[in-house]
């Protein structure tokens, strides 16, 4: 069964979707409470982003009392896989090596991370 291609996400939508994944199910207030303190996003903006994510097919909701309770309509692994593959294709022609080199050269991964990657590669 092929999954329909979902529309691209904005950075704000991605942040909100990630929080819903972490919470499993969430009201607008739950998401607002989970946002980092430095992020000043209005309740109405969070509500708009949740509804936009639902319209795009990433979320669904149920009504509990007066509140809409949002939950994932897609698995995080599927979205991450597609997003990473799109990123690799656009910036690196699908080759992960230049990305890994960039991350290593700019201090985003260290020797311990590289050892973990070696173990993962050995499992394939």
pLDDT averaged over 10-residue windows placed end to end, the chain, 124 residues? 74 96 98 93 97 98 96 95 92 94 89 89 78
Q: Residue 54 in contact with residue 70, Cβ under 8 Å?
A: yes
What pTM does this model have? 0.81
pLDDT at residue 43 in the model: 96
Residue 20, token pair as written in the block: 């819903």
pLDDT at residue 122 in the model: 85
CATH of domain 76-123: 1.10.4040
Does residue 72 sit in helix, strand or coil? Answer: strand
Task: Give the residue among 36, 32, 17 at the shortest CA–CA distance from 78.
Answer: 17
Tell me the CATH class for 11-72: mainly alpha
The pairing of strands 59-64 and 25-26 is unpaired
Q: What does the DSSP assignment read for 49-100?
A: HHHHHHHHTSEEEEEETTEEEEEESS-HHHHHHHHHHHHHHHHHTT-HHHHH
Which residues share a beta bridge with 60?
71
Q: What does the DSSP assignment read for 5-41?
A: PPPP--HHHHHHHHHHHHHSEE-HHHHHHHS-TT---
Q: What is the DSSP letter of 95?
A: -
Domain-wise residue ranges, the chain: 11-72, 76-123
Q: Residue 74 in contact with residue 60, Cβ under 8 Å?
A: no
CA atoms of 3 and 35, how far apart (whole Å) = 30
pLDDT at residue 124 in the model: 62
């Amino acid at each position: 069964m092929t999954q329909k291609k979902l529309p691209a996400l904005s950075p704000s939508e991605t942040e909100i979707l990630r929080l819903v994944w972490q919470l499993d199910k969430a009201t607008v207030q739950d998401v607002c409470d989970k946002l980092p303190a430095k992020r000043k996003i209005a309740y109405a903006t969070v509500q708009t982003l949740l509804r936009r994510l639902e319209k795009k097919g990433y979320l669904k909701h149920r009504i509990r009392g007066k509140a809409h309770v949002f939950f994932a309509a897609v698995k995080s692994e599927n979205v991450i896989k597609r997003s990473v593959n799109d990123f690799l294709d656009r910036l690196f022609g699908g080759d992960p090596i230049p990305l890994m080199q960039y991350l290593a050269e700019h201090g985003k991964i260290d020797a311990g991370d590289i050892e973990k990657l070696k173990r993962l590669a050995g499992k394939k």
